[in-house]
Structure 1
Amino acid sequence: MPELPEVEALKDFLDEHLVGQEIVRVLPVAISVLKTYDPPVTAMESRTVTAVGRHGKFLDVDADGLHLVAHLARAGWLHWKDQLPSGAPRPGKGPLALRLALATGAGFDLTEAGTQKRLAVYVVTDPAQVPGVARLGPDPLAEDFDVSRFAALLSGERRQLKGALRDQSLIAGIGNAYSDEILHAAKMSPFKLAADLTEDETRGLYAALRDTLTQAVERSRGVAAGRLKAEKKSGLRVHGRTGEACPVCGDTIREVSFSDSSLQYCPTCQTGGKTLADRRMSRLLR
């Protein structure tokens, strides 16, 4: 799933390639992709792109005050093409969900792999009209997101850190991968309760959060859209690396599985050598 660093890089890429260009066609190909109908998606056509923004993990293409807002979900991606194929794409069972074409002949496709279709596109006059954007928490890389604000968000949170960091209404833009990376950098168990953090632990977690996301954004900056997935994977230290050696201590990276996802962690760095129970197996054995 694209998270804050990748969406930030896509925003920068589109800002360079879209701003000042006229949109000539926006064509939804998958029935499920378009979540709004008024104004119609065709209202984006014949408008000039004036800005590209990011709200958490949402991309926002502003064309003369009308916004095409997209959330790529777990298996979605954006593919830029300097020259789009001629002719209209045919609706079908393939991954193509939506195509946006410019007057220059360039444009991009939004695609989604797999059978669970969660990629979502909205056409609105204000991004806050998108429910997911309206309920977003603060952006963790915003200048005013300081350690005191972070501490206030976690205060009273009787949830495990893993879940708290992934909650978009608490903090925007962090998903499964970077929550693992942040907790590994902070040397904290994903199951530690947010409300139990000491002042020093809160400062340490805040520093890990800012450093991890900032470094990921810097790695992604200037990378072409088609290479961002590979760049993200190459920069991850624990997420998706079950069975490999921890780059810090050399211990074996472990995994805890859930119904539709999993987390990775290092026992030596994060849990005092303790192996965390696999929640999926725990439920089966009840």
Structure 2
Amino acid sequence: MPEAPELTIVREVLERRVVGAAVESARIIRPTVLRTLSEIDVAADIEGRSFTNVSRYGKSVTLTLSDGMALVIFPMLTGRLRLASPKDRLTKTVSLSLSLSNGIDLRYLDDRQMGMLYYAPTDRFTEIPRLEETGPDVLDEPLSLEDFTARLRRFTGEIKGILTRGSLVAGIGNAYSDEIVWEAGISPFRRRADLSADEIARLHAAVYAVPRRAVVMLRELIGDDIHIERREWLSVHGKANQQCPRCGGRISRLSANRRITDYCMTCQPGLLIRN
């Protein structure tokens, strides 16, 4: 799942490569990912419009088009954007392909059709589910420790689930939540109510430090290949049964509900909560 760091790179690349270009033609190959707020022929309506801005909020990217329309993209688990040559074949994962006036094809890929693309008027964004249901962005100005602690008190349950829910801060998913709680030295299964003031302070620091470091790393690794996931450099996520880089212990993995959690039982002591 692309999270705030990856989608920040996507925003930066698209700002450079597609803003100012017009959509010359549109192909909707898999319409199941496409959403609208009213009856509209998306392929016909989007043709001729130019991209005027690209923004990111949480785990979504918004491509604003001329004359008050936009594509709001929630990649979810398997969605990706790709810049391609018109000569590149359309793979079976391509759901939408836009041919642009600058000779680039902008494609949305999603092999499991889990993502959502909203084509909507910019003055109706409040009607888009998910867009208004998240907290302050994790890459915006950090909350003070006091404000972060106050927001955290609203939530119950395991700390990893609170981080990925998006209401505390927006933009953290499965991978970076593993990295954040590892850096903070907190078990992903600890209940929020059981965290000490010192642990909350460590969590607050990690929530903002980890994604910012990731953006710097990903700028070097990804380049313009925004459809490629690069996470081999992470400390614990995706590293099951490898050595913990901090203590040398074995990294454990728990799989549940199509989600993996990688953590170090030595560095992050705590019991798994059983429902």
Which of 50, 53, 62 aligns to 1:51? It is 53
How many angstroms does 1:36 deviate by?
1.0
| CA shift digits 1:140-163 (9 cap, x unpaired) | 221153322221211142211010
The residue number in structure 2 matching 1:150 is 148
Of 4-13 and 144-153, deviating more is: 144-153
CA distance in 2, matches of 1:194, 1:62: 38
Relative to structure 1, is the Cα distance of residues 155 and 37 closer, same or farther in structure 2, using a 3 angstrom cutoff? Answer: closer
> Which amino acid is the alignment partner of residue 77 of structure 2?
R
Residue equivalent to 2:223: 224
Quote the Cα distance in structure 1 between the aligned partners of 2:245 and 2:88: 48
Gaps of 5+ in 1: none
Of residues 82, 86, 99, the one that matches 1:79 is: 82
| Map of 1:245 onto structure 2 | 243
**Partner secondary structure for residue 134 of structure 1:** coil
CA contact (8 A) 1:95 1:112 kept: yes
The answer for the alignment partner of 2:71 in structure 1 is: 68
Instruction: Please show how residues 6-17 of structure 1 align to structure 2 within 5 Å.
Output: 6-17=6-17
- Partners of 1:4 and 1:137 in 2: CA distance: 13
2:260 aligned to which of 259, 262, 265? 262
* Unaligned runs of at least 5 residues, structure 2: none
- 2:159 alignment partner, one of 141, 158, 161: 161
CA distance in 2, matches of 1:132, 1:27: 26
SS state at 1:221 partner: helix
**CA distance in 2: counterparts of 1:60 and 1:173, whole angstroms:** 14
CA contact (8 A) 1:40 1:123 kept: no
Matched letter for residue 125 of structure 1:
P
What is the CA-CA distance between 1:248 and the residue it aligns to?
0.8
Q: Distance in 2 between matches of 1:220 and 1:193?
A: 31
Change (3 A) 1:230 1:259: closer
How many residues were matched structurally?
A: 269
Q: Give the TM-score taking structure 2 as reference length.
A: 0.90
Matches within 5 A, 1:86-101: 94-101=92-99
Give the direction of change, closer, same or farther, for the CA distance of 1:18–1:5 in structure 2 (3 Å limit). Answer: same
- Whether contact under 8 Å (2:184, 2:203) holds in the other structure is yes
Shift of 1:86: 8.4
TM-score by length of 1: 0.87
> Quick check: 20-29 or 178-187, which moved more?
20-29
Structure 1 residue 227: deviation in Å? 6.1
Question: Tell me, what secondary structure is at the counterpart of 1:47?
Answer: coil
Query: What CA deviation, in whole Å up to 9, does each residue of 1:77-125 have, x standing for no partner?
Result: 11111x31389x6xxx921111122112212111112xx4212111112
Residues 202 and 179 (structure 1 numbering): CA distance in 2 closer, same or farther, change over 3 Å?
A: same
AA paired with 2:137? Answer: D
- Residue identity opposite 2:82 in structure 1: H
What secondary structure sits across from 1:263 in the alignment?
strand
The match for 1:4 is 4
Alignment partner of 2:121 out of 121, 125, 131:
125
| Residue 33 (structure 1) aligns with | 33
For 2:164 and 2:16, the matched residues in 1 are separated by 30
Secondary structure at the aligned position of 1:248 is classed as: coil
Percent pairwise identity: 32
For 1:270 and 1:75, the matched residues in 2 are separated by 29
RMSD over aligned Cα atoms = 2.2
Q: Which amino acid aligns with 1:213?
A: P
Residues 248-275 of structure 1 deviation map (CA, whole Å, 9 limit, x = unaligned): 110000011213112010011111xx6x
